[in-house]
């Protein structure tokens, strides 16, 4: 045991040790747990949400109607009926020349081959007589007749799972509600109005759903926006377990809480290469939910390798209304690929709705991630899906969330002022059960009011907890000990119309509550900003200079100064929707976007000019055009946008 007599030498040693501890702790806090950046001037400034015409003249040239999807004219030879049985389409089979009487069929189930999230294989064939209840969520059906004529098809549905009955924990409600979350990647509320008009109108007008006009992202892409929704925490506050692993099994994802309350759980998403937990990461060591669709999409890639490899190229051509062949790459046989997600979700609901409560999260990415307009081809399909949910009574006891993570993040549209704002403000519609409305009229009033105010994914997390635990009456707000300003609020509670981005947990670079003014490129401050930003971008890859090129300045695309919406007078300018201000003080917040060479990368950042010689980038530097395979030589997610491989 160390014993120290209180003399001068020992006192000095203790003092030095304490100072070192404080320095180490401070450094650790800054490096490992950086708080989202908020300007003090923004904390007490009321947010005035932007009021934008979805068809404003400034963006209308980027909006067009894509060609409808052209899937195979031949009907799929096997399908699932409403009872969940796999059935032969005899009419289609006869038209295709099959001998029905001699047709023999088998299936091969899909399973994970390793203790990871990236490998699947097919089980040994099992012979079946159609119609049949196939005890696999994902399988390959193979049929052949006496003439050796055959067909194969990859199927996905929710098979019955046996749940062990346990005593319901005391904190779980006796009459639980279902939670159905249906997400579309990269879809702003305004683009949903443009591209999904039937779906939007049906949910908000026919079904009386609440569209939240102030719902704002808290991170750049999907991961930092869905993790707060699922955990109530920023990504930097969480750690993978065991320490040093790349698996997310240890994350406190909310579906675990639903499982403990004896909910059936489901998580499905397409685009497995860039999926939520697997983009440059390892996903889950064990299957995270009762039903998990990733193995299907991995098996789809193995069955259709050429289609998978060339898919992005074909999709780019389709976006330009150029079609190679008779069938769209966004199809699987006679059905659009997004309907695989829709039908899997519907299969999950039909399987368990009358047995136990449900938590389902589906996320569609491929059709919406890269291109602004392509999602339009799915409008009628989504509309019909929600109609089925309603007509079959599945919404009577369910909270339905139709939402996104952020708006469109790439290409020319994103470089406009409206495109930048839409990127920050994703779609969020909440449909609540009618019996809930009748029982809680005050909450309905709050939802209507809150739909006009500033909200974030952290508020959605609080809302999901209220639904899970049945805490619909007024209760103490969730406190965050490390931040007295930030206070997430359930959407069932009344949110103040003076709420700020800081209070909602929205980092300043994603706050849409600012007015902006264009800055003349000839202003001295523009040169200073571009030099500072170029230096900052290059510093990100300095340690990798042997493989990542050093960027050179090409041109400044635009610079705008931002000011809190309530602090300055608006200079009338209809084209900029009241966002333009008179330029005066060179100090303050700026948004700068610039192009560099090589790679023609376009970067954007928010810069805080504190003094003429002191600048600071708030948040990250964002690349707002595609980088494709330019960063093939690095595998770190954080480096991908900035490395141009030599």
**Percentages (nearest 5) of helix, strand, coil residues in the chain:** 30, 20, 50
- What would the pLDDT profile of 85-98 be if each residue is shown by its tens digit? 999 999 999 999 99
Q: What is the pLDDT of residue 168?
A: 78
Q: What is d(CA 622, CA 8) in angstroms, rounded to the nearest whole number?
A: 53
Instruction: State how far Cα 341 lies from the chain centre.
Output: 15
Residues contacting residue 318 through CB under 8 Å, at least 6 positions apart? 66, 67, 328, 329, 330, 374
Lowest mean pLDDT among 1-10, 76-85, 164-173: 1-10
- What would the pLDDT profile of 130-176 be if each residue is shown by its tens digit? 999 999 999 999 999 999 999 999 999 999 877 766 677 878 888 89
Q: Please say whether the beta carbons of 81 and 133 come within 8 A.
A: no
Cis peptide before 131 (omega within 30 of 0): yes
530 by DSSP, 3-state: which? helix
- Confidence band, pLDDT 50/70/90 cuts, at residue 458: very high
Q: What is d(CA 454, CA 489) in angstroms, rounded to the nearest whole number?
A: 11
- What would the pLDDT profile of 578-589 be if each residue is shown by its tens digit? 333 333 445 889
Give the mean pLDDT of 614-624. 92
Q: How far is CA 618 from CA 194, 582, 591, in A?
A: 32, 23, 10
Domains, in order of start, for the chain: 178-475+484-510 (3.40.720.10), 515-566+583-645 (3.10.450.10)
Q: Please say whether the beta carbons of 638 and 617 come within 8 A.
A: no
Give the mean pLDDT of 310-324. 89
Q: What is d(CA 219, CA 426) in angstroms, rounded to the nearest whole number?
A: 12
Q: What is the pTM of this model?
A: 0.87
DSSP 532-555: HHHHHHHHHTGGGTTTBPPPEEEE
- What would the pLDDT profile of 563-580 be if each residue is shown by its tens digit? 865 432 323 333 323 333
Q: At what angle do helices 294-303 and 305-319 cross, to 10 degrees?
A: 90
Q: What is the pLDDT of residue 522?
A: 87
Q: What is d(CA 12, CA 279) in angstroms, rounded to the nearest whole number?
A: 50
Tokens of 390: 């309603």
- What would the pLDDT profile of 212-245 be if each residue is shown by its tens digit? 999 999 999 999 999 999 999 999 899 766 555 6
382 by DSSP, 3-state: which? helix
Q: What is the pLDDT of residue 37?
A: 47
On the question of pLDDT at 386 being above 50, the answer is yes
Tell me what the pLDDT averaged over the chain comes to.
87
User: What burial letters (b/e) apply to 375-392, b meaning 16+ CB within 10 Å?
Assistant: bbbbbebbbebbeebbee
Q: What is the pLDDT of residue 115?
A: 80
Q: What is d(CA 458, CA 227) in angstroms, rounded to the nearest whole number?
A: 9
Q: Please say whether the beta carbons of 275 and 294 come within 8 A.
A: yes
Cis peptide before 574 (omega within 30 of 0): no
- Confidence band, pLDDT 50/70/90 cuts, at residue 324: confident
Instruction: State how far Cα 289 lies from the chain centre.
Output: 18
The sheet with strand 291-292 has its strands ordered as 210-211, 428-431, 398-403, 178-184, 358-364, 264-269, 291-292
- Confidence band, pLDDT 50/70/90 cuts, at residue 252: very high
189 by DSSP, 3-state: which? helix
39 by DSSP, 3-state: which? coil
φ, ψ (nearest 5 deg) of residue 164: -75, 125
DSSP class of residue 206?
I
Instruction: State how far Cα 170 lies from the chain centre.
Output: 33
> Residue 127 pairs with which residues in a beta bridge?
106
User: Which long-range contacts (C-beta less than 8 Å, at least 24 apart) are formed by 617-623?
Assistant: 617/533, 617/536, 618/37, 618/39, 618/507, 618/508, 618/509, 618/589, 619/36, 619/37, 619/220, 619/507, 619/508, 619/509, 619/510, 620/220, 620/509, 621/533, 621/536, 621/537, 621/540, 622/220, 622/409
Q: What is the pLDDT of residue 32?
A: 33
Tokens of 161: 């799972």
Above pLDDT 70, what percent of the chain? 86
Nearest to 406 by CA among 243, 563, 223, 248: 223
Q: What is d(CA 624, CA 532) in angstroms, rounded to the nearest whole number?
A: 18
Give the mean pLDDT of 307-316. 89
- What would the pLDDT profile of 11-62 be if each residue is shown by its tens digit? 444 344 444 433 333 333 333 333 454 444 444 467 889 999 999 999 999 9
Above pLDDT 90, what percent of the chain? 71
Q: What is the pLDDT of residue 4?
A: 43
DSSP 305-339: HHHHHHHHHHHHHHHTT--SSSS-TTEETTEETHH
Nearest to 604 by CA among 189, 220, 280: 220
Q: What is the pLDDT of residue 474?
A: 60
> Residue 266 pairs with which residues in a beta bridge?
291, 360
232 by DSSP, 3-state: which? coil
Q: What is the pLDDT of residue 199?
A: 99
């Amino acid at each position: 045991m160390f014993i120290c007599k209180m003399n001068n030498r020992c006192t000095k040693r203790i003092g030095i040790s304490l100072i070192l501890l404080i320095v180490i702790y401070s450094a650790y806090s800054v490096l490992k747990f950086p708080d989202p950046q908020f300007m003090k001037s923004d904390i007490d400034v009321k947010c005035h949400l932007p009021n934008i015409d979805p068809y404003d003249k400034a963006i209308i040239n980027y909006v067009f109607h894509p060609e409808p999807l052209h899937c195979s004219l031949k009907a799929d030879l096997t399908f699932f009926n409403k009872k969940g049985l796999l059935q032969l389409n005899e009419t289609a089979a006869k038209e295709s020349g099959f001998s029905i009487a001699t047709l023999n069929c088998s299936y091969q189930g899909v399973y994970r081959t390793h203790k990871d999230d990236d490998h699947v294989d097919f089980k040994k064939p099992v012979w079946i007589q159609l119609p049949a209840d196939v005890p696999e969520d994902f399988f390959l059906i193979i049929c052949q007749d006496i003439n050796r004529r055959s067909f194969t098809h990859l199927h996905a549905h929710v098979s019955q799972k046996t749940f062990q009955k346990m005593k319901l924990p005391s904190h779980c409600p006796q009459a639980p509600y279902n939670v159905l979350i249906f997400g579309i990647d990269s879809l702003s509320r305004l683009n949903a109005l443009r591209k999904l008009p039937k779906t939007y109108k049906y949910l908000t007008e026919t079904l009386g759903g609440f569209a939240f006009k102030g719902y704002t992202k808290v991170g750049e892409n999907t991961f930092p926006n869905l993790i707060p929704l699922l955990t109530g925490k920023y990504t930097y506050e969480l750690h993978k377990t065991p320490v040093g692993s790349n698996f997310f099994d240890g994350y406190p994802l909310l579906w675990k809480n639903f499982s403990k309350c004896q909910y059936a759980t489901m998580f499905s998403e397409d685009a497995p290469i860039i999926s939520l937990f697997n983009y440059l990461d390892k996903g889950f060591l064990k299957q995270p939910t009762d039903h998990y669709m990733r193995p299907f999409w991995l098996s789809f890639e193995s069955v259709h390798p050429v289609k998978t490899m060339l898919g992005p190229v074909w999709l780019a051509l389709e976006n330009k209304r150029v079609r190679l062949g008779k069938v769209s790459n966004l199809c699987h046989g006679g059905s659009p690929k997004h309907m695989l997600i829709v039908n899997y979700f519907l299969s999950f609901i039909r399987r368990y709705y009358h047995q136990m409560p449900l938590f389902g999260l589906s996320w569609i990415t491929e059709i919406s991630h890269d291109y602004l307009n392509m999602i339009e081809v799915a409008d009628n399909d989504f509309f019909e899906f929600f109609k089925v949910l309603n007509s079959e009574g599945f919404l009577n006891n369910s909270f339905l969330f139709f939402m996104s993570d952020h708006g469109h993040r790439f290409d020319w549209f994103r470089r406009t002022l409206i495109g930048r704002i839409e990127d920050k403000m994703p779609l969020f519609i909440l449909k609540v059960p009618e019996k809930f409305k009748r029982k809680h009229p005050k909450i309905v009033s709050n939802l209507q009011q809150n739909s006009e105010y500033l909200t974030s994914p952290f508020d959605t997390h609080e809302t999901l907890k209220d639904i899970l635990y049945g805490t619909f009456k007024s209760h103490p707000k969730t406190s965050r000990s490390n931040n007295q300003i930030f206070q997430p609020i359930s959407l069932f509670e009344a949110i103040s119309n003076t709420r700020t981005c800081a209070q909602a947990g929205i980092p300043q670079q994603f706050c849409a509550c600012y007015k902006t003014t264009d800055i003349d490129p000839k202003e001295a401050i523009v040169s200073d900003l571009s030099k500072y930003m170029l230096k900052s971008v290059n510093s990100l890859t300095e340690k990798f200079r042997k493989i990542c090129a050093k960027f050179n300045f090409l041109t400044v695309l635009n610079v705008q100064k931002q000011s809190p919406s309530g602090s300055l007078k608006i200079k009338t300018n209809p084209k900029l929707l009241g966002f333009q201000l008179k330029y005066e003080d060179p100090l303050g917040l700026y948004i700068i976007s610039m192009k560099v060479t090589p790679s023609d990368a376009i970067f954007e950042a928010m810069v805080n000019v504190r003094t003429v010689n002191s600048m600071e980038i708030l948040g990250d530097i964002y690349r707002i055009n595609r980088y494709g395979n330019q960063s093939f030589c690095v595998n770190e997610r954080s480096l991908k946008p900035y490395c141009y491989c030599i």
